[in-house]
């Protein structure tokens, strides 16, 4: 069953609201100054209308700009499913990019959950699936876990018995973010960026001359916060190009929406362990059933056949342990091929 999310005003709609608010302000002042509305009731009505529009404008400019972080109580041992699948009805001015950011999702994950929907012109009245249910990644539930294939980060705050998850942008092909285990070494608000020589050369070849050091500010690709890792040259950071979150666009670093890194930054202490994995196929249990969540493998791991059956069999065997339920292999392979990012039961 899908939970329906109330649609919030898009960026274009918010601009319209501001214009209406400005027009009402001007009309109110004009009628007052010219004496056209000498009736006290009419003046009171205009004043109330102005205040109502002001409150609505403030609400629209603050609440919908970003979605709430996906934060869940940790399930009991042996249960791996968190969250609830939900949906939203699109308006004519929406794009999947706008809807994704408003609901703290990445661009590719919302696109893959809605095959056949034009990401830039979904259209009026289209039901958009929000992939807001997740199987927790395999391995220990501690520190930060980053699943590259999923383009998503999971953070388990120490002692809080909960998990927080955020969408990510990672390194593009040729600048891959590595699979490794590391830790947080330091944190810095308003970081400066010293671009490596390899990146400066790449930009120079494209006619873009990068300075040796880029100070804090709107031109800094690190955004307002940086979390440095023991892995030299790699860090978690914000961005001045939030449209790249949920895609492979970086030079290997891991970028978050500005509003997400602002929330994560104060919560993550130095020495927090960081585990970077690459698992396009996740398996886990809920209500006695085995679920599968499939994402498109990174391009350098994709096979011509589309599915690595040997890998799938190994993952299924690990998930089953000593249990021997009937596996719906047709459903399992179809889930892998569709890679919608939505957990699907593959046992009765």
For the chain, what are the domain ranges? 3-62, 70-84+132-277, 281-345
Lowest mean pLDDT of 189-203, 212-226, 258-272, 275-289, name the range.
189-203
Average pLDDT, the chain: 82
Strand spans (E) along the chain: 3-4, 70-73, 81-83, 86-89, 127-130, 133-135, 143-147, 152-156, 162-167, 170-171, 180-189, 225-229, 235-237, 248-250, 254-255, 273-277, 281-286, 289-294, 344-345
Q: Which residue has the higher pLDDT, 91 or 40?
A: 91
For residue 10, the model assigns a pLDDT of 42
Q: Which residue has the higher pLDDT, 40 or 15?
A: 40
What is the β-pairing status of strands 70-73 and 170-171?
A: unpaired
Mean pLDDT of 206-217: 78
Are 206 and 295 contacting, i.e. CB atoms less than 8 angstroms apart? no
Question: In the predicted model, is pLDDT for residue 344 greater than 90?
Answer: yes
For residue 177, the model assigns a pLDDT of 86
d(CA 83, CA 131): 9
Q: Which residue has the higher pLDDT, 282 or 20?
A: 282
Catalytic residues: 237, 253
Mean pLDDT of 230-239: 92
Residue 226 tokens read as: 């940086």
Question: In the predicted model, is pLDDT for residue 180 greater than 90?
Answer: yes
pLDDT level of residue 328 (50, 70, 90 thresholds): very high
Q: Which residue has the higher pLDDT, 240 or 259?
A: 259
For residue 18, the model assigns a pLDDT of 40
Mean pLDDT of 73-92: 96
Q: Which residue has the higher pLDDT, 17 or 192?
A: 192
Lowest mean pLDDT of 40-44, 71-75, 93-97, name the range.
40-44
Q: What is the SS3 assignment for 329?
A: helix
For residue 89, the model assigns a pLDDT of 97
For residue 31, the model assigns a pLDDT of 41
70-84+132-277 in CATH: which number?
2.40.440.10
For residue 308, the model assigns a pLDDT of 80
- Give the whole-number percent of the chain exceeding pLDDT 90: 60
d(CA 306, CA 252): 25
pLDDT level of residue 252 (50, 70, 90 thresholds): low
Residue 104 tokens read as: 């703290």
Mean pLDDT of 216-222: 89
pTM: 0.79
Residue 31 tokens read as: 């009628």
């Amino acid at each position: 069953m899908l939970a329906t999310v109330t649609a919030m005003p898009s960026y274009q709609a918010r601009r319209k609201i501001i214009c209406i608010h400005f027009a009402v302000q001007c009309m109110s002042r004009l009628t007052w100054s010219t004496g056209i509305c000498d009736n006290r009731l009419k003046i009171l009505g205009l004043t109330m209308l102005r205040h109502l529009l002001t409150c609505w404008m403030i609400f629209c400019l603050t609440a919908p700009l970003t979605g709430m972080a996906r934060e869940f109580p940790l399930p009991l041992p042996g249960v791996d499913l968190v969250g609830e699948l939900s949906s939203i009805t699109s308006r004519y001015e929406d794009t999947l990019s706008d809807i994704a950011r408003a609901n703290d999702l990445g661009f590719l994950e919302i696109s893959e959950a809605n095959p056949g929907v034009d990401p830039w012109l979904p259209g009026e009245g289209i039901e958009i699936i929000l992939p807001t249910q997740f199987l927790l990644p395999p391995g220990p539930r501690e520190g930060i876990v980053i699943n590259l294939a999923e383009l998503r980060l999971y953070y388990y705050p120490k002692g809080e018995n909960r998990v927080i998850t955020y969408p990510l942008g990672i390194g593009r092909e040729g600048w891959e973010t590595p699979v490794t285990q590391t830790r947080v070494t330091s944190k810095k608000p308003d970081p400066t960026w010293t671009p490596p020589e390899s990146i400066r050369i790449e930009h120079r070849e494209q006619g873009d001359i990068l300075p040796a050091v880029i100070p804090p500010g709107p031109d800094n690709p690190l955004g307002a916060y940086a979390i440095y890792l023991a892995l030299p040259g790699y860090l978690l950071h914000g961005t001045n190009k939030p449209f790249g979150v949920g895609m492979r666009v970086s030079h290997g670093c891991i970028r978050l929406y500005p509003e997400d890194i602002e929330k994560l930054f104060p919560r993550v202490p130095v020495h927090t362990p960081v585990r970077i994995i690459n698992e396009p196929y996740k398996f886990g249990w809920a209500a006695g059933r085995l679920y599968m969540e499939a994402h498109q493998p990174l391009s350098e791991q994709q096979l011509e056949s589309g599915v690595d059956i040997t890998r799938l069999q190994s993952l299924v065997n690990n998930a089953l342990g000593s249990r021997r339920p009937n596996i719906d292999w047709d459903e399992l392979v179809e889930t892998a091929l569709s890679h919608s990012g939505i957990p699907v039961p593959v046992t009765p």
